[in-house]
Amino acid sequence: MKRPSPKRRTLEMKPEYDFSGGVRGKYLDRYRKGTNVVLLDPDLVEAFPDSESVNHALRSLITIAKRAGSRKRA
């Protein structure tokens, strides 16, 4: 059996997807508490391709800033 070509696929939802009892925004507050989305400029995306690299760089910056702050106090 052939699969329909992408052009012939419809945008209608399948009958088994029933959202009639759904509540809009039910988990929105919980989602917002657990996420923090930051948009990077295109030039930064080249240097930091994923969240792990961004987190590593920011943690390094915090460490450097703490060291620099402790030197100023002394």
pLDDT of the residue at 74: 55
Can you tell me the distance from the alpha carbon of 71 to that of 64, in angstroms, rounded to the nearest whole number? 11
Domain extent at residue 58: 41-73
Residue-wise pLDDT tens digits, 6-27: 656 667 888 888 888 999 999 9
Q: Is residue 15 part of a domain?
A: no
The vertex-58 CA angle with 55 and 60, nearest 5°, equals 110
pLDDT digits (tens, 9 = 90+) for 18-59: 888 999 999 988 888 888 888 999 999 999 999 899 999 999
Tell me the C-alpha distance between 37 and 25, whole Å: 18
Structural domains in the chain (count): 1
Record the pTM. Answer: 0.49
Q: Is residue 53 part of a domain?
A: yes
Residue among 65, 39, 70 nearest 54 (CA)? 39
